[in-house]
Amino acid sequence: MSTDLTRPAGSASSAGHHPPGTLDRRSIVERRELHAQRTGRTVTAGAFSPRQLWQSLPDALRKLDPRAQLRNPVMFVVWVGSVLVTGLAIAHPTVFAWLIAVWLWLTVVFANLAEAVAEGRGKAQAESLRRTRTETAARRLLPDGTEEHVPAPTLRVGDRVVVEAGEVIPGDGDVVEGIATVDESAITGESAPVIRESGGDRSSVTGGTTVLSDRIVVRITTAPGESFVDRMIALVEGAERQKTPNEIALTILLSTLTIIFLLAVVALQPMARYSGAEQSLIVLTALLVCLIPTTIGALLSAIGIAGMDRLVQRNVLATSGRAVEAAGDVDTLLLDKTGTITFGNRRATALHPAPGIGSAELAAAARLSSLADETPEGRSIVELCAKEHDLPPEEDAAGEFVPFTAHTRMSGLDLDGRSVRKGASSAVAQWTTGPGTDAALPPEVGETVDRISADGGTPLVVAERVGGTARVLGVVQLSDVVKPGMRERFAEMRAMGIRTVMITGDNPLTARAIAEEAGVDDHLAEATPEDKMGLIRKEQEGGRLVAMTGDGTNDAPALAQADVGVAMNTGTAAAKEAGNMVDLDSDPTKLIDIVEIGKQLLITRGALTTFSIANDLAKYFAILPAMFAVIYPQLDALNVMRLATPQSAILSAVVFNALIIVALIPLALRGVRYRPSTAAQLLRRNLLIYGVGGVITPFIGIFLVDLLVRLIPGI
C-alpha cells in the first residue's frame, strides 16, 4: 500500500519532492530567471533573433555537401536542380538563367539555414552544459578499504568512490553508504541543497555536483563519456537525433508528392513540344521546384529540433524526439497526488477529542508523540499545539522515540510507564486492543475519521497506554492543499480529449474528495506499483497513449511501460534509466507542460505542412500562364496577378519560394501558438489560418516581388 495512506506524521515525507516554499510554489517566471542566473542557460519560450541567421550561415553553407542533402529527399531534388541550372547558365549565360540559378541555390541555403539555426540553439545549450563539467580527481576505494587517487575519466562501472564535504562527485552513481547534502545547482539551477542517502529513492547522484556536508560512498553506474551530462550534451546538439515515426511518414508523403510532380513536369515537355511551345530545362526546373513542397521540406528538421530545444529550455531532457511526439498524442495522464496535484506537505489543521477527553489533554498527547518527529507533518502538529494550547514547541520530555515504519504505520514516544502513539486509524485501533483481537475504534472516533477522510483530509488517531490500559484520545486532522489553478488546467486537458487520472495511496474516501476538488476525471486509491502497471496496460490495450511521472525504483517498471515516462532527477538511477524523459527540476507538475510542448510540436508541423501545400496554388497561376499563354491565349485569364512578362513571372515565383522559407524560420523555431481545444477546433483553425493564409499569401508575395523583378534589365 502506498505511503500516502500509511505514512502519517511519523513518516519520511514525500521523498523526492521539494520542501514547501521552494520549487513547487515558485512562479514559472521566477524559476526561469533563477535557472538562467545559476547555470548560464537562458530559459525562454523559443525567442528568435535575426542575428542567429547570420551566425548560422557558415553551418548552412557546409550543409551544401550532397551527402548532407541526401537526408532530405525534397531538398536534394532542389540541390540537383540548382546544379543543373548552374551548368546551363554557364553554357548559355543569360540574366534570367543566372538569376534562377542563384535563387535556387538560395532556396537550398535557406533550408539549410533553418536546420542550422535550430542546431545552433542546441549547441549553445550544450556549451553551457560543458561548463558544468569539472575535471576532478576521484578517491577510489580498493577492496582492502584503502583509497587511491585517480582521474575521474578513468573510473569504471562498479567502482566505489569516497566523496566528502567540499568535494565534487566524480561521476554518476548511487550512494551506497552515508548521507549528505548535495548542491545540484550546476545541473538544475535550483540553489536549495538536496539530501542524498543510501538505500532509498534519493540515492542517485550526478557527476559534477558538489557535496556540501558529511561523507558518502558512491558506486559509479556509468562509463566515461556516458554520464548524464554527456548524454544531455549529445541530445541537445542533435548528435543522436533520429527521425521520429511521424517525421518518417511525412518525409515519405513529401517524397511521393515530389515524384508525382517530377513525372508531371517530365510529361509536360512532349506536350509542349507538340504544341510548338517547347520549354527550356531552366523553366522546367523552376516549375518543378515551385510545385514540390519545398517549404515544409526545408523546415521539417528544424521543427523537430526546436521541439527538443523547448523541452531543454524548460530543464527537461528527452531521450528521443519520439518521446516528444508521443507526449503530443497522449490520451491519458497518470498524476501522483502528492507534489503534483497537491503541495504534498500535509499540515495539522484541527484536533478532534474523543468523548470524555479534553482538547488540552489531546493536544498534550499529540505534541508528545510528535516532539522527535522531523517530518513536516510532525512539526506542524507541534506548532498547532503550541499555537492553540500554549504548549512549548521545544522538547521537554525524556523518552524513547518510536519511528514510523511501513509495518506499524505509527510513531510516538515511550516514557516511564506511559506510551503515546499516533498513526493510521486501523493501526492505532489494533495497538489499543492488542494483537489477536478485533480492532475497533470508539464509534464517535470512527465517525470523525470517516468524516475527515470524506472531506479530503488525513486522520491520525492519537492513543496512549498507561500500565496495561490503553485508550483513544482523539484525532488529529491533516489537510493537503490542492495547488491553485489545477481544476482549470485539467479542464483544458479534458477539452483536448485527454483523460486525467490521479494516483494516490490514500484511502478511497480521501482520494475521492481530493479528486473532486482537483477536477480530475478518475482516481486510483490505495495504489501499489503493480496497480499502476495494471492501469497503464489497461489504457494501452484500449489504444490510448499514457504519460506518467515517477522517481523511485518501484516506479521504474511503470515508467518503462508508459509511452511517456518522466523521471524526476531526484529519483533513483533505475527510474531515470526506465523513463524516456528526465525533469531536472524534479517538478511532477511539469508533465502537463510536456504534453503541451508535444502538442505544440505536432500542431506546428501540421500547420506548416498545410501552408506549404496550399501556397503551391498561387504558383500555378504564376508559372503555367507564363509558359503557355503565347500558344494558348485563353490561359492569360489565369494571370490574375497581371505579372509583367513570362520570365518575370517564373523568376518571381522562384524568389518567393525561397524567401518564404526564411520568413517561416521564426515560426518553426518558436512553434505555432498553442491553445487548448478539441481536435475539430484545431483542424478548423489550422485550415482557416494556414490553409486560407497559404493560398492568399503567395498571391500577394509573388505580385510584390514581380514589381521589383520587372525593373531588372533583361527580364
Pairwise CA distance, residues 705 & 687, whole Å: 26
Pairwise CA distance, residues 676 & 558, whole Å: 27
- Cα angle value 444/404/25 (rounded, 5°): 90
**CA proximity to 605, closest of 336, 291, 179, 250:** 250
Q: According to the annotation, is 404 in a ligand binding site? A: yes
**CA proximity to 376, closest of 2, 15, 9, 25:** 9
Residue environment code for 524-549, b if the CB has 16+ CB neighbours within 10 A, otherwise e: bbbbebebbbebbeebbeeebbbbbb
Query: Beta-carbon neighbour count of residue 166 at 10 Å?
Result: 9
Pairwise CA distance, residues 255 & 378, whole Å: 64
Q: According to the annotation, is 422 in a ligand binding site? A: yes
Q: According to the annotation, is 408 in a ligand binding site? A: yes
Q: Could you give the strand order of the β-sheet that contains 458-466, starting from the edge strand earlier in sequence?
A: 347-353, 469-479, 458-466, 418-423, 410-415, 400-402
Q: According to the annotation, is 548 in a ligand binding site? A: no
**CA proximity to 613, closest of 272, 263, 260:** 260
Q: According to the annotation, is 551 in a ligand binding site? A: yes
Q: According to the annotation, is 49 in a ligand binding site? A: no
Pairwise CA distance, residues 308 & 244, whole Å: 12
Q: Which residue matches cell numbers 517530518?
A: 375
Q: According to the annotation, is 373 in a ligand binding site? A: yes
Pairwise CA distance, residues 623 & 646, whole Å: 8
Query: Beta-carbon neighbour count of residue 39 at 10 Å?
Result: 21
Q: According to the annotation, is 405 in a ligand binding site? A: yes
**Cβ contact 169:138 at 8 Å:** no
Tell me which residues are annotated as active site.
Answer: 336
Q: According to the annotation, is 354 in a ligand binding site? A: no
List all residues 6 or more positions away from 498 whose beta carbon is below 8 Å from its beta carbon: 330, 331, 332, 333, 595
Do the bridges between strand 581-583 and strand 564-568 make them parallel or antiparallel, or are there none, so unpaired? parallel
Q: According to the annotation, is 67 in a ligand binding site? A: no
**Residue list, annotated binding site:** 373, 377, 404-411, 422, 551, 555
**Residue list, annotated binding site for ATP:** 373, 377, 404-411, 422
**Residue list, annotated binding site for Mg(2+):** 551, 555
